[in-house]
């Protein structure tokens, strides 16, 4: 398979290993679904063969899990008009509800950890959570 069209299927989550054994895939269309996250781990088996990925018109959340797509767009060798259009994919940064082009993700605001900073087997798309968030999350839980 070199072309996979999954557009307009109301897909909310991509299952783990969704693209395993699709090592010839060049075009993936996920446009117009309900995806909020597209983890790098799911895309890893096909990221080297892909030439076109369409994730436009999804309610994507700007988070560290989209970093792979930003980096992939920046490193595109085949810069045709169709793929340049995909660079206009938007995501929303919570909690400020501001939209950004995925290509211009504000990584410094997101506290994303780069692969060189990851230690102890953590994922490359890990985010650092502010201590106040962790405190609030822990204090909201009632222990019995």
Q: Which 3 state secondary structure label does DSSP give 125?
A: coil
**Domain boundaries in the chain?**
3-106
| pTM metric for this prediction | 0.71
Q: What's domain 3-106's superfamily in CATH?
A: Ribonuclease Inhibitor (3.80.10.10)
pLDDT in tens, 34-92: 999 999 999 999 999 988 889 999 999 999 889 988 888 888 765 565 665 666 889 99
Using alpha carbons, select from 96, 88, 41, 45 the residue that is nearest to residue 67. Answer: 41
Q: What are phi and psi of 8, to 5 degrees?
A: 55, 50
């Amino acid at each position: 398979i070199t072309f996979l069209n999954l557009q307009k299927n109301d897909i909310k989550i991509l299952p783990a290993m969704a693209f395993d054994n699709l090592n010839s895939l060049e075009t993936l269309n996920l446009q117009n679904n309900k995806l909020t996250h597209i983890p790098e781990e799911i895309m890893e088996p096909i990221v080297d063969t892909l030439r076109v990925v369409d994730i436009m018109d999804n309610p994507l959340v700007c988070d560290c899990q989209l970093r792979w797509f930003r980096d992939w767009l920046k490193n595109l060798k085949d810069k045709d008009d169709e793929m340049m259009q995909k660079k206009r994919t938007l995501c929303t940064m919570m909690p400020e509800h501001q939209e950004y082009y995925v290509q211009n993700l504000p990584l410094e605001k997101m506290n994303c950890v780069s692969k060189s900073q990851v230690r102890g087997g953590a994922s490359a798309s890990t985010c650092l959570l502010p201590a106040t968030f962790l405190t609030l999350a822990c204090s909201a839980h009632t222990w019995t």
